[in-house]
Amino acid sequence: MFILKSGGVATAIAAMILSAATAPAFAQDADTTTCGTDRQIDIAEMSWPSAAALARIHATILEKGYGCKVEVVAGDTVPTSSSMLARGTPAIAPELWTSAIQDQWDQASTEGKVVELSKAITDGTVEGWFIPRYTQEANPELTTVAAVLEHPELFPDPEESGKGRLYSCPPGWACELSTSALYEALDMEDKNWNLFSPGSGGALDASIARAFTRSQPILFYYWGPTAILGKYDAVQIDLGEVKPEIYACNTDPDCTDAPQVTAYPSSPAIVGAASWVKDEAPQIADYFSKVGLTNAQISALLVYGDENKADAAATAENFLKTEEAVWTEWVPADVAEKVKASLG
């Protein structure tokens, strides 16, 4: 028989009981996925619907599934990227279109300030000027921007007789710079066209929806994937070839060269992050490396929001409830179960 030191048999039995009682807890802790950082993770909710919905989807998964401290903060392409580059916040931009900030982003990435975690839209984006298909079918020649600009009377400005109207981007959006530059480069003012700022993304959508509902012509800037392009049959107007250097100047407020004509490039839409996320919360960085969605998936998500007048949070909740087969592939099983439990 072995003689046990330091308390003998009683101490040994007590240790065995304690070990048996606590072993499952230790095993459970080892199997539980956690956030990995005590820092608050700010997620930028951009002002367009797809980015807003994605922000809410990821905020729910990080908070309810990983136990992260999460805050959704208002954002837009230029101010969000500038803040991320300068201050490391917001931590995540779940749909960052980098075409208008490519040089700054590349430099910051080289300096180790920011990182691309994945492609937010896996099959690329679309951006440009559109008209309704029924307008083009009635006027088959309207395939290029030159042909459209010859007919301002087909796209009348309701506030100024004899003028055509191009619906531009809301103030503060990067596309406001590119559209304004094209308006100038194409001499549209001299061709009896007005450039109209709708004031907000919602106002732009309302103008487009009103025109389509009434089967009226409209010339408008838009992008995809979006509920608008998923819901309405619009045709993209040919703006010619993409000229990256010209586009870069057109979207740079400090560029002193005169605006020139170029088509919009297919913008990389990425999941952008402050570099500390990858360093301090590698499991969260790994999560974001898997979250890319296709145009069709995002458009379907957004059509739900549009048809049900749902805000970004409700649209995100619907996605999480109805697309489990998609998002559960992004996360460990225990995270998925916690998220599903939080949805009720």
Range of the domain at 181: 126-250
Considering the domain architecture, whether residues 146 and 179 belong to the same structural domain is answered as yes
Element (H, E) at 93: strand 92-97
- Split into its structural domains, the chain has a count of 2
Considering the domain architecture, whether residues 134 and 223 belong to the same structural domain is answered as yes
Over residues 222-280, the pLDDT tens digits come to 988 888 988 899 999 999 999 999 999 999 999 999 999 999 988 789 999 999 999 99
Q: What pLDDT sits at residue 327?
A: 98
Over residues 107-165, the pLDDT tens digits come to 999 999 999 999 999 988 889 999 999 999 999 999 999 999 999 999 999 999 999 99
Tell me the C-alpha to C-alpha distance, in Å, between residue 235 and each of 131, 135, 315.
5, 9, 27
pLDDT higher than 60, residue 284 = yes
Considering the domain architecture, whether residues 80 and 182 belong to the same structural domain is answered as no
* CATH number of domain containing 232: 3.40.190.100
Backbone φ and ψ for 266, nearest 5 degrees, come out as: -70, 110
The predicted model gives 33-46 an average pLDDT of 96
Pairwise CA distance, residues 173 & 328, whole Å: 33
CB-based contacts of 161, cutoff 8 Å, min separation 6: none
Banded model confidence at residue 18, pLDDT cuts 50, 70, 90: very low
Considering the domain architecture, whether residues 119 and 135 belong to the same structural domain is answered as no
> Is the residue at 131 inside a domain?
yes
Over residues 40-58, the pLDDT tens digits come to 999 999 988 899 999 999 9
> Is the residue at 22 inside a domain?
no
pLDDT higher than 70, residue 9 = no
pLDDT higher than 90, residue 17 = no
Provide the Cα torsion 139, 141, 146, 148; round to 10°.
Answer: 10
